Amino acid sequence: MTRKIQVNRVARVEGYGGIQVEIADGRVKDVKMNILEGARFLEGLVGGRRFDEVPDIICRICAICSAVHKLTAIQAMEDALGVQVSERTALLRELLVQGGNIESHALHIYCLALPDFAGVASVIELNSTHPDTVAEGLRIKKLGNQIQETVGGRAIHPENAVIGGFGRLPVADDIKRLRDGMAQGLDDVQALLPFVRGLEMPDYREGSSVYVALRNGDKDFSFYGDRIVCSDGAEYPLSGYKELTNEFVVPHSNAKHSRHNGKPFVVGALARLTLNGDRLGGAARRAIDALGLVLPTTNILYNNHAQVVELVWALERGRDICERLLEMGLEQEKPVEVKARAGVGTGAIEAPRGTLYHQYELDEEGRVVKADVVTPTAQNLSAFEHDMRAMVESNQGDDDATLRLKVEMVVRAYDPCISCSVH
């Protein structure tokens, strides 16, 4: 007897993807994450474009992670063109990354993931059962957008970030406002901790267990890094990301898959916490305890918890960056002048969903010869399937609807960004 679990369109995720599970005679035969989102071939489309046009185009890969796409592209271009930016610029960029991260994590936790646990269809319904939580969540989400608007010039596709710096720097008053918002955000997020701790987590055996993230120096917990580290002990320089990802095409998905040593691996909040979590202090450390989060875990559903911890961290880190910027002062500075030249450059930043890589090869005129973008969701797709399989195997006794919800919860726990994965 074959049993089929099918989800035509996974809801509460960005983009268009479906799930197909086939169980034959008690054995899980097939698990597929069908990525149905159309391919835009953006890597192909930027061919021939001048270097300075590329970040604005390529960030359109995804709205939710547009800030980090833009900054990763900028980083890659600066790498190729040998551009060094000021400390102020670097701080503002990190603030922008945090803004994107705060918005994205808040969106995912409060609007996309929590409804599952509360047994409702959406944040709108959640609002009738948990109005305070929703209000807090939307406030934090809005703060994330305010940061992106203030620093990036727009909440989505932040046009202010350019190669060499920023078009126009925010003024001190703006930064003060953000700092105060961050303090409020830290208050708001507290109420979430006991709530999330109390959630009932569907369990399953043997999820994916190789975690990958960037690592920065030897002290920081950061979304930036100088090397790629894997929980199986492997390490790569940023420019060696292809040895990690080994992207390949599978016929049921418009997005490529990645495997490391033939095995799926996981990037994202849970990976970052597993690998670098010991570097966390302050409110984030306390949040781990408050959530009762025990690491390492192979249950990807705890990625939701990890995102909560990172949200706390981002708010705290964001506040510190603001303080630092205010100390430094915010005199206007023009973007560093950039001269076209040939070269290859790599950029890598931790996006909300995991490590994002951009690489560009430029000709002497500074026009793109080759572009490569590897997104976190694409890296995670193999792991999606692995974890869904484990979830189904562990919960075969459930009826179809429950099982369907559980596999969907696995997918949602990854906080997939399907447009990103295809691009």
Partner 1 sequence: MAKPRIGIYGLTGCAGDQLAILNCEDELLDIVNAVDLRSFSMASSSNPEGEIDVAFVEGAVCQQRDLDELKEIRSRSKLLIAIGTCAVWGGVAAARNDIDREKLKEKVYGPSGSFLESLPVKPLGEHVKVDLAISGCPIEKEELINSVASLLRGDLPLLVSFPVCTSCKMHEYECLLVKRGQLCLGPITRAGCEARCPGLNRVCRGCRGPVDEPNAASEVALLKERGFDRRDIINALATFAAPAEKLAEQIVGKEPACQSAQDASQAEKE
**Contacts with partner 1: how many residues (CB under 8 A)?**
65
Q: Which of 168, 203, 263, 369 binds partner 1 (CB under 8 A)?
A: 168
Q: Which of 31, 61, 113, 280 binds partner 1 (CB under 8 A)?
A: 61
In degrees and rounded to multiples of 5, residue 171 shows phi and psi of -100, 165
| Residue closest to 395 by CA, chosen among 299, 307, 302 | 299
| 3-state DSSP assignment of residue 285 | helix
Q: Which of 6, 20, 30, 57 binds partner 1 (CB under 8 A)?
A: 57
CA distance 73 to 58: 7
Stretch near partner 1 under the rule CB under 8 A, chosen from 89-97, 117-125, 258-266, 385-393: 117-125
Q: E strands within 184-242?
A: 212-215, 227-230, 235-237
- Contact between 338 and partner 1 (CB under 8 A)? no
- Contact (CB, 8 A) for 99 and 161: no
- Contact (CB, 8 A) for 355 and 267: yes
Stretch near partner 1 under the rule CB under 8 A, chosen from 82-90, 94-102, 234-242, 250-258: 250-258
Q: Which of 24, 29, 48, 87 binds partner 1 (CB under 8 A)?
A: 48
- Contact between 415 and partner 1 (CB under 8 A)? no
- Contact between 311 and partner 1 (CB under 8 A)? no
CA distance 196 to 179: 26
Stretch near partner 1 under the rule CB under 8 A, chosen from 19-27, 163-171, 273-281, 382-390: 163-171
CA distance 301 to 202: 8
Give the residue carrying structure tokens 């987590």: 201
Q: Which of 14, 78, 188, 387 binds partner 1 (CB under 8 A)?
A: 14
Stretch near partner 1 under the rule CB under 8 A, chosen from 110-118, 235-243, 260-268, 313-321: 110-118
Give the residue carrying structure tokens 């700092």: 179
For the chain, how big is the Rg over CA atoms in Å?
A: 21
Q: Which residues bind to partner 1, rule: CB under 8 A? A: 9, 11-16, 36-45, 47-50, 53, 56-57, 60-64, 66, 103, 107, 111-112, 115, 121-125, 127, 134, 138-139, 141-142, 145, 153-157, 159-160, 162, 166-168, 248-249, 251, 254, 256, 408, 419
